[in-house]
């Protein structure tokens, strides 16, 4: 089971909102909106997706990594490394 399973409905709602924002951004570009207005919307969409990513990371740490630590199957180092790599990817995005 995915770590975000308990929050799947909220995650989907956030993604649908971001999807709507992207559609709005496309309309703005299609209608030749002012550059700074378009950039403002790009920033808002970026922040919305970052919020989704942070929620997923929180769920991953709280579920997947924690379960590995509790169950002691010996792969905790792998899970922590995966989490660290995902965080690095988010930071450098």
DSSP state of 88: H
> For residue 23, what pLDDT is reported?
97
* pLDDT tens digits, one per residue of 43-92: 999 999 999 999 888 888 888 888 888 877 667 888 888 889 988 988 88
* CB neighbours of residue 60 within 10 Å: 19
Count Cβ neighbours within 10 Å for each residue of 9-36 and write b for 16 or more, e otherwise: eebeebeeebeebeeebeebeeeeeeee
The overall longest dimension of the chain from CA atoms, in Å, is 57
């Amino acid at each position: 089971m995915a770590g975000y399973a308990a929050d799947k409905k909220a995650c989907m709602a956030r993604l649908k909102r971001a999807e709507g924002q992207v559609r709005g951004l496309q309309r703005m570009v299609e209608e030749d909106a002012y550059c700074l207005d378009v950039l403002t919307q790009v920033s808002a969409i970026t922040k919305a997706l970052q919020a989704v990513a942070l929620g997923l990371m929180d769920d991953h740490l709280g579920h997947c990594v924690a379960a590995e630590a509790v169950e002691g199957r010996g792969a905790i180092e792998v899970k922590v490394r995966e989490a660290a790599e995902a965080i690095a990817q988010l930071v450098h995005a």
